[in-house]
Amino acid sequence: MKKLIPLALLLAVSAEAQELPFPAGYREWIHLTTGLDMSYNPALAMPGHHMFDNVYAEPSAYREFLKTGTWPDKTRVVLEVRMGTTEGSINKAGMYQTGEPMGVEVHMKDAGLQGGWGFFGFGEDKSPARIMPQDAECYTCHRKDGAVDTTFVQFYPTLLPVARAKGTAR
């Protein structure tokens, strides 16, 4: 009989390597929001370059959030970056998304990680990503300003009312 590796094991962050597999199938997860050129630094914009940020959560984590106003352990939230462009087909104004992702990052909740959450950035080859070092800017900013449990629920229009109703948004 063939031995199957339990899904939980495949998804677990190894304590030694702190590596995470690429979140295959995240485009079929729950879409939380999309922003364009968002930045907490007004000077950061690159003229002529536009980036959409698409955010997805695992369906099971999303459903738990709807019930409790916060995320269960092992939650993965994906940030996908795609180029924005104006002219193409019949479009003449505004901006639409085009091409392959320019980046994919995962924010994963794991009680075994320092601070309870880790960030992982994936390259084009989709190979497993090492956890980002604790002094990376993402940790500080998410801890300081994330509305719910280090996540930016203040920018997720379907989850913010849930967090407010459950009293979990700060």
Select from 8, 24, 92, 137 the one that contacts a second copy (CB under 8 A): 92
Does 137 interact with a second copy (rule: CB under 8 A)? no
Nearer to a second copy, 113 or 164 (CB): 164
Does 59 interact with a second copy (rule: CB under 8 A)? yes
Q: At a CB cut-off of 8 Å and minimum separation 6, what does 18 contact?
A: 113, 118, 130, 131
- Whether residue 131 contacts residue 118, with contact meaning beta carbons closer than 8 Å, is answered with yes
Query: Least separation, in Å, of the C-beta of 161 and a second copy?
Result: 9
Nearer to a second copy, 56 or 139 (CB): 56
* Separation of CA 3 from chain center: 32
69's tokens? 């106003």
Q: Which of 59, 92, 96 is nearest to 75 (CA)?
A: 59
Select from 106, 152, 162, 163 the one that contacts a second copy (CB under 8 A): 152
Beta bridge partners of 80: 54, 104
What single DSSP character describes residue 74?
T
Does 145 interact with a second copy (rule: CB under 8 A)? yes
117's tokens? 């959450």
Nearer to a second copy, 16 or 28 (CB): 28
Q: Which residues bind a second copy (CB under 8 A)?
A: 27-28, 30-31, 33-42, 44-45, 52, 54, 56, 59, 62, 82, 84, 88-100, 141, 145, 147, 152, 154-155, 157-158
